[in-house]
């Protein structure tokens, strides 16, 4: 069994650990090539405004079209990206791709008012010196305004935030790119961070959303979290909405936005475009005329 013993600072590596390490190294080099060969792709998951029942935005989620293994979700390769020092490059690829896409959509479509695309940013990207400068250049090149994006950052980042992170967050704000706290309620956050953080929205983790219909206590808990978010002057997005009942409950609790399989799974850019033009309806429309 693969297990490391830290006793006396000595680690024992089993053959299984060697094997795992070799596989990771292989994955890292494959990923490095994938970045160069444009095998990554941005998928989009609609975010719905529960007050108007309209698409208010989308979250961009990275996928890897692996030549042999097919479409890979981030779980299969983000750790390797982090370990291999490829996270910054991957993040830049994603941001460049998304800003390009948003530029095309703004030029070619009548986007819903306030439509924006949420992009996940890893802590390493914010710790890297010039994310704001990079984003500024992209936005200028594509003629996209900063508010068309929202950068999702995780709570864990906030706890270890240093000068570079703070400077990046300030600079992003200065160019009009809103920030959002992702996976809110999953652990790291201390309530005091909420007050000092320049974020526009907080995204409630799906582990909280999904317990909503099961227990009354969970519902009160989510209600309290929504109050907290609102008290801090932020809007709330609930992720992982899979059922109509969850959407209805969240609306009654004054949660502004929701995303999840009930509305749509993450889809390729062409499918997202169909949602935006009205050529395709949200999955929820089959269930509830409100979403049609």
Q: Which does 74 bind (CB under 5 to 8 A by kind): ligand C2E, Mg ion, none?
A: ligand C2E
Choose one: 3-11, 67-75, 188-196, 216-224; the region binding ligand C2E (CB under 6 A): 67-75
Q: How far is the CB of 260 from ligand C2E (least distance, A)?
A: 3
Of 28 and 181, the one with the shorter C-beta distance to Mg ion is 181
Helix (H) or strand (E) holding 149: strand 149-154
Residue 183 near residue 176 (C-beta atoms within 8 A):
no
Q: How far is the CB of 185 from ligand C2E (least distance, A)?
A: 12
Q: Which does 242 bind (CB under 5 to 8 A by kind): Mg ion, ligand C2E, none?
A: ligand C2E
Contacts with ligand C2E in 144-203 (CB under 6 A)? Answer: 152, 182-183
Torsions phi, psi for 33 (to 5 deg): -70, -35
| Distance in Å from the first CA to the final CA of the chain | 53
* In 143-186, alpha helices (H): 155-159, 163-174
The three-point CA angle 150-86-165 to 5° equals 45
φ/ψ region of 185 (left if φ > 0, alpha if ψ in -120 to 50, else beta) reads left
Contacts with ligand C2E in 2-41 (CB under 6 A)? Answer: none
Q: Which does 116 bind (CB under 5 to 8 A by kind): ligand C2E, Mg ion, none?
A: none
Q: Which of 30, 45, 57, 276 binds ligand C2E (CB under 6 A)?
A: 45
Q: Which of 28, 47, 55, 94 binds ligand C2E (CB under 6 A)?
A: 94
Choose one: 115-123, 156-164, 221-229, 248-256; the region binding ligand C2E (CB under 6 A): 115-123
DSSP code per residue over 56-98: EEEEEEEEEEETTTEEE-GGGTHHHHHHTT-HHHHHHHHHHHH
Report the interface residues with ligand C2E, using CB under 6 A: 45, 61-62, 73-75, 78, 91, 94, 120-122, 152, 182-183, 206, 239-242, 259-261, 266
């Amino acid at each position: 069994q693969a297990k490391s013993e830290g006793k006396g600072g000595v680690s024992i590596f089993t053959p299984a650990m060697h094997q795992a390490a070799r596989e990771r190294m292989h994955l890292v080099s494959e990923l490095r090539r994938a970045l160069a060969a444009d095998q990554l792709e941005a998928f989009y998951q609609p975010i719905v405004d529960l007050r108007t029942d309209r698409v208010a935005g989308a979250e961009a989620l990275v996928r890897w079209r692996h030549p042999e293994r097919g479409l890979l979700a981030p779980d299969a390769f983000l750790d390797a990206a982090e370990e291999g020092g490829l996270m910054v490059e991957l993040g830049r690829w994603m941001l460049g791709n998304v800003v390009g896409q948003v530029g095309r959509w703004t030029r070619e479509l009548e986007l819903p008012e306030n439509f924006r695309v949420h992009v996940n940013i890893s802590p390493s990207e914010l710790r890297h010196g010039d994310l704001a400068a990079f984003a500024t250049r992209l936005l200028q090149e594509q003629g996209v305004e900063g508010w068309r994006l929202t950068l999702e950052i995780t709570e864990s980042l906030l706890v270890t935030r240093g000068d570079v992170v703070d400077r990046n967050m300030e600079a992003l704000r200065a160019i009009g790119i809103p920030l959002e706290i992702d996976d809110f309620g999953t652990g790291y956050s201390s309530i005091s961070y909420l007050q000092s953080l320049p974020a526009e929205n907080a995204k409630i983790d799906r582990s909280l959303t999904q317990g909503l219909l099961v227990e009354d206590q969970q519902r009160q808990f989510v209600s309290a979290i929504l109050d907290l978010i609102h008290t801090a002057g932020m809007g709330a997005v609930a992720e992982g909405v899979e059922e109509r009942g969850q959407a209805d409950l969240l609306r009654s609790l004054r949660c502004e936005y929701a995303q999840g399989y009930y509305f749509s799974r993450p889809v390729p850019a062409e499918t997202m475009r169909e949602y935006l033009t009205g050529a395709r309806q949200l999955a929820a429309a089959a269930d509830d005329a409100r979403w049609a």
